Amino acid sequence: MVLVQAIIDGILVGTTYALIGIGFTLIFGVMHKLNLAFAAASIAGAFASLVAWQHFKDLPVPLVFLISAAAAGVLGYLIYLTCFRFIPLKSPLATLMATVGMLIFLEEIVTHVSDGKAQNYPGMLPDARWTLGPLDIRVDYILVFAISVAAMLLLLALLYRTRLGIATRAVAQQPVAAQLCGISLDRTNAATFVMSGVLGGLAGAMIGSSAELLSNLLPLQLTVKGLIVTVIGGLGSIPGAIVAGLLVGAVEKGVETWSVLARDLCVMLLIFVFLVAKPAGIFGKLNVRD
């Protein structure tokens, strides 16, 4: 029963990993480039909201979340400008290295803002619990789940019901034809970075909030986990990122009941299994765009 409980918890908070995975995969889908600074920017957004929360005492939690999402969205745009906009896209390593530099830079900022230690972060109803037979579920985990699902639905509506969504999918599928339709690659790419940044900032805030702590080590940890989710889900696949996020969350919490030390090891093993057995990920295709 402890294991079932843990797996349910894992699936509920795994939605934050799914959001991070979606962020990586969205940018990859549109630009066919990895943005390694994405998860660090998400946490940096959360730290921006932490600074606001510390400065203006008693900010309501929803506002703290919104600040995190907005800050990470702005950071997403800045990353696009500094690491992609003026860097030759034909060279596969140039943008990758630029984002590695940005990752280190953002991590350094987080270290300074946090004084090198974990900081208190406002929780959502930390003590509320919902008892369901033998299960005892934290209400804030349910909120994390609900907010994440709402954010994903909003993203889907954006992608499938708006002009921006048409532009985004057109650029992802056929960039030359997209330009021939008068769609600007530059604006669409920038919008994609902002969209994924907002999702990431929301995820970062919820990760901090469900622990009531924002750890200064999160930028790197979340980068690794986000990449694992993206690879397991299949690069460029949003449904893949969602399933993989829940899977990684469930495995993490499940293994934790046995040994906290083995937790990250098992997640690493998971990616090893996938790379050997299903290298394209759950929903990914290995073929390359022409």
Partner 1 sequence: MLEVSDIVTSYGKIEALKGVSLEVEPGKITCLLGPNGAGKTTLMMTVAGILKPRRGSVRFEGRDLAGQAPRRIVEAGIALVPENRLVFPNMTVAENLAAGAFTRSDGAGIAEDMERMYARFPRLKERSTQAAGTLSGGEQQMLAVARALMVRPKLLLMDEPSVGLAPLVVEEIFRIIRDLNRDGTTIFLVEQNAHMALQVAHHFYLLELGKVTFSGAPGQLAEAEVIQRAYLGSKKTQ
Nearest distance, CB of residue 14 and partner 1, angstroms: 27
* Rounded least distance, CB 181 to partner 1, Å: 5
Asked if 183 interacts with partner 1 (CB under 8 A), we say: yes
181 is a site residue for partner 1 (CB under 8 A) = yes
- The window from 98-106, 120-128, 136-144, 169-177 that contacts partner 1 (CB under 8 A) reads 169-177
Q: How far is CA 188 from CA 31, 113, 120, 171, 284, in A?
A: 10, 32, 37, 8, 23
Q: Is the dihedral of CA 174, 86, 96, 112 positive or negative?
A: negative
Q: What are phi and psi of 138, to 5 degrees?
A: -70, 130
- Integer Cα distance of 148 and 144 in angstroms: 6
Selected range binding partner 1 among 145-153, 170-178, 226-234, 269-277, rule: CB under 8 A = 170-178
83 lies in the binding site for partner 1 (CB under 8 A): no
DSSP string, 104-145: HHHHHHHHHHTTTS-EE-PPSSTT-EEEETTEEEEHHHHHHH
Nearer to partner 1, 176 or 276 (CB): 176
Angle between the N-to-C axes of helices 2-31 and 139-161, in degrees from 0 to 180, rounded to the nearest 10: 30
Is 157 an interacting residue with respect to partner 1 (CB under 8 A)? no
271 closest CA partner among 224, 236, 222: 224
| Given 85, 129, 169, 263, the residue binding partner 1 (CB under 8 A) | 169
55 binds partner 1 (CB under 8 A): no
One of 177, 260, 262, 275 touching partner 1 (CB under 8 A): 177
In whole angstroms, how close is the CB of 190 to partner 1 at the nearest point? 15
- List strand residue ranges (DSSP E) for the chain, in order: 119-120, 129-132, 135-138, 213-214
Q: Binding of partner 1 at residue 167 (CB under 8 A)?
A: yes
SS3 57: coil
Question: Which of 236/254 has CB closer to partner 1?
Answer: 236
Does the protein bind partner 1 through residue 90 (CB under 8 A)?
A: no
Binding range to partner 1, per CB under 8 A, among 57-65, 88-96, 106-114, 179-187: 179-187
Near partner 1 by CB under 8 A: residue from 5, 82, 119, 174: 174
Asked if 36 and 103 count as a contact pair (C-beta separation under 8 A), the reply is yes
Is residue 156 within the footprint of partner 1 (CB under 8 A)? Answer: no
For tokens 């090893």, what's the residue?
Answer: 272
Is the torsion defined by CA of 192, 198, 202, 207 positive or negative?
positive
Q: Is 173 in the site for partner 1 (CB under 8 A)?
A: yes
> Could you say which of 184, 268, 273, 278 contacts partner 1 (CB under 8 A)?
184
Separation in Å, CA 276 to CA 21, 24, 28, 270, 281: 20, 22, 22, 10, 10
Please state the closest distance from residue 9 (CB atom) to partner 1, in A: 35
Instruction: Give the Cα separation of 100 and 214 in Å (integer).
Output: 22
Which residues are at the interface with partner 1 (CB under 8 A)? 163, 166-167, 169-170, 173-174, 176-184
